[in-house]
Amino acid sequence: MQIKINVIVPIYNAEKHLRQTLDSLVNQTMDSFELILVNDGSKDSSQSIIEEYQAKYPSIIRSYIKENGGIADARNFGCSKVTSEYFGFVDSDDIVEPNMFESLYLQAKEDGSDVVFSNFYWTYPDKEKESKDGPYTSNKDILTRMFATLWNKIYRTDFTRSLDIHFPTGYRYEDASFLYKLSPYIKKWSYVDQAFVHYRQTTGSITHNHNDRVKDMIFVFNDLLEFYQGRNLFETYKEELEYLFIRFFLGNSFLRTCQIKDPKDRKKTLDLSYCILNDNFPSWKNNPYLNQGGLKNKYFKTVNQLTYPIYAFIFTLIYRFKKEKLS
């Protein structure tokens, strides 16, 4: 009988939180459930912890050791080992509620869904904040509003494999790449209005510096554009892709770039990010999603060639002040 759900856990130097993560997984209420643990060349005691849990729970844990190739490569490897009807992901420093995969699977089966969305918690040392990832009304709605996080969702295996979509090896934002490529193809989706994942927020969880992460984002979004163009999806989803580029290159990427220490590199990366948006979407100011209200959209609409470097200067000073205050 086919297993109902596989859960892929990429692991790299995760000894600090790995036991908590695995405890939350081996105690799932789900039956016909199996973990795929991928040790991506850890240099700490992660493998010893994996072996400890595999010896204790041999019926629900499969583990693999591979040469370090980064998070995207580990996810691709894990996906190649999936044998279940549905699969999901959990990061090696997060904790999930015991009923998570049973709840998502039952909803998937009830609706015949390709993907099931759920909420999650931003977990800080002193507080938690819940974020909703749904409900959605259309593929375009999913593309523009979903949280590009892999681990609060499950995916029908046959559906995802039919699309031949892989994580971009060697780059961060692999989750965004996978989900934004998946979105236009989803025929049936479900939403469970509960938070199951405690997404741990720690300074050490960012393994790349800001410079690397911005460059990764540039690659991933250029690749995304080529994907939509190559699969004849661009014209259908042009406005949604344009809005994604606005959000990332005037929001996430912009804020990270302002934290690059070297002023020449910071300016070069800022210029590159702004050019990517304007070269690919020269009329982005007319994007209809910018008129939906909200402070971020109001900010986006004020950005132009004159205000962009001013905003960059202000945010650079703010981050420098914060860093000096904390030191």
153 and 62 in one domain?
yes
Instruction: Give the list of residues 6+ apart from residue 66 with CB closer than 8 angstroms, or none.
Output: 38, 39, 40, 41, 73, 74, 77
pLDDT of residue 141: 98
- 142 and 126 in a single domain? The answer is yes
CATH number at residue 86: 3.90.550.10
* End position of a domain, from candidates 150, 170, 205: 205
Is a pLDDT exceeding 70 seen at residue 203? no
Q: What is the per-residue pLDDT for 261?
A: 87
Widest CA span of the chain, in angstroms?
63
- Shared domain for 185 and 306, answered yes or no, is no
Looking at residue 240, its pLDDT comes to 98
Q: Please report the pLDDT score of residue 285 as a whole number.
A: 96
> Are 238 and 159 contained in the same domain?
no
Cα gap 118→92, rounded to integer Å: 19
What was the pLDDT predicted at 208? 41
Mean pLDDT of the chain: 94
**Which single residue is written with the structure tokens 């009807």?**
85
Cβ count within 10 A of residue 207 = 12
Closest CA to 246 of 212, 310, 181, 292: 292
Whole-structure pTM value = 0.93
Same domain, 199 and 214: no
Residue 221 and residue 111 share a domain:
no
Q: What is the pLDDT of residue 274?
A: 93
Question: Above 80 in pLDDT, residue 303?
Answer: yes
Q: Quick one: 59 exposed, middle or buried, by C-beta within 10 A (0-12, 13-18, 19+)?
A: exposed
> 216 and 200 in one domain?
no
Q: Domains in the chain: how many in total?
A: 2
Q: Comparing C-alpha atoms, which of 85, 140, 180, 185 is closest to residue 289?
A: 140
Does residue 327 surpass a pLDDT of 70? no
Give the pLDDT score at 230: 98
Q: What is the pLDDT of residues 212-247, one digit of tens each?
A: 778 888 899 999 999 999 999 999 999 999 999 999
Q: How far is CA 65 from CA 24, 26, 76, 225, 244, in A?
A: 22, 20, 14, 33, 36
**Full residue range of the structural domain in which residue 300 is found:** 210-326
Structure confidence at residue 324 as a pLDDT band (50, 70, 90): low
Residues 128 and 159 in one domain: yes
Q: Is pLDDT of 323 > 50?
A: yes
Kindly report, residue by residue over 267-292, the tens digit of the pLDDT.
998 999 899 999 999 999 999 999 99
Cα gap 250→60, rounded to integer Å: 44
The answer on 151 and 289 residing in a single domain is no
Report CA-CA distances (Å) from 8 to 113, 173, 265, 314, 319: 20, 17, 37, 41, 36
Residues 197 and 214 in one domain: no
Res 111 pLDDT > 60: yes
CA dihedral 106, 112, 114, 116 (to 10 degrees): -30
Per-residue pLDDT tens digits for 35-77: 999 999 999 999 999 999 999 999 999 999 999 999 999 999 9
In this structure, are residues 171 and 217 in contact, taking their beta carbons and an 8 Å threshold?
Answer: no
Cα distances (Å, whole numbers) of residue 235 to 62, 145, 225, 245 = 43, 19, 11, 15
Are both 247 and 194 inside the same structural domain? no
Claim to verify: residue 190 and residue 284 sit in the same structural domain: no
Residue that is last in its domain, among 170, 205, 240? 205
